[in-house]
């Protein structure tokens, strides 16, 4: 498994914990930064991270900003991306089971490190259920195409 990572200055402290955790688990990453608390714009970083997932260079993306909101809005503009802001274990599980989310977005001021790493584990370990949920995410794609 390979993950694409991206954060802004607000997400940097939590992303550092995610980086350490993924390194301990020997999970390969493509890291689009940032690498300090110096102020940066989140949209270009979210775009690069999301494109790496959409183009198949990574299986999933992890995006972190202060709230998770800005990076999710930016990532969801990339065709084929289903980015979900998760704030608890249930949201991380259900967005994989029902939405086949391919980018996990979190907010460094919304969740603590323990919760974030738990959500990451759940997100990566939960399969998509398919069935009626496939029809529903196909409809989301139709919105993207302008046919719904």
Exposure class string for 84-122: b at 16+ Cβ within 10 A, else e: bbbbeeebbbbbbeebbbbbbbbbbebbeeebbbebbeb
* Count of residues engaged in binding ligand RB5, rule: CB under 6 A: 8
Residue 123 in contact with ligand RB5, rule: CB under 6 A: no
Q: What residues does 107 pair with on adjacent strands?
A: 65
| 130 and 137 Cβ atoms separated by less than 8 Å | no
Residue 65 in contact with ligand RB5, rule: CB under 6 A: yes
| 91 and 126 Cβ atoms separated by less than 8 Å | no
Active site residues per annotation:
65, 98
When binding is defined by CB under 6 A, the residue of 67, 76, 100, 102 that contacts ligand RB5 is: 67
Binding segment for ligand RB5 among 23-31, 65-73, 78-86, 91-99 (CB under 6 A)? 65-73
Q: Which is nearer to ligand RB5, 29 or 43 (CB)?
A: 43
Q: Which is nearer to ligand RB5, 3 or 68 (CB)?
A: 68
Residue 76 in contact with ligand RB5, rule: CB under 6 A: no
Q: How many CB atoms neighbour CB 136 within 10 A? A: 12
> Alpha helices, DSSP H only, in 56-112?
69-75, 89-97
Q: Which is nearer to ligand RB5, 71 or 92 (CB)?
A: 71
Give the separation between CA 81 and CA 49, rounded to whole angstroms.
10
Minimum CB separation of residue 69 from ligand RB5 in Å reads 4
Q: Which is nearer to ligand RB5, 91 or 126 (CB)?
A: 91
Q: Please report, as ranges, the residues that interact with ligand RB5 according to CB under 6 A.
A: 8, 10, 42, 65-67, 69-70
């Amino acid at each position: 498994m390979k993950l694409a990572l991206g954060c802004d200055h607000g997400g940097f402290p939590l992303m550092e914990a995610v980086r350490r955790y993924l390194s301990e688990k020997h999970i390969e990453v493509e890291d689009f930064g940032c690498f300090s608390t110096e102020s940066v714009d989140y949209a270009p970083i979210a775009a690069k991270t999301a494109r790496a997932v959409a183009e198949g260079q990574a299986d999933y993306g992890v995006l972190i900003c202060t709230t998770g909101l800005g990076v999710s809005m930016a990532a969801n503009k990339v065709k084929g991306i289903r980015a979900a802001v998760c704030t608890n274990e249930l949201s991380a599980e259900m967005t994989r089971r029902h939405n086949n989310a391919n980018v996990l977005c979190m907010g460094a001021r919304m969740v603590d490190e323990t919760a974030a790493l738990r959500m990451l584990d759940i997100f990566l370990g939960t399969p998509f259920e398919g069935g009626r949920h496939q029809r529903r995410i196909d409809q989301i794609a139709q919105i993207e195409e302008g046919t719904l």
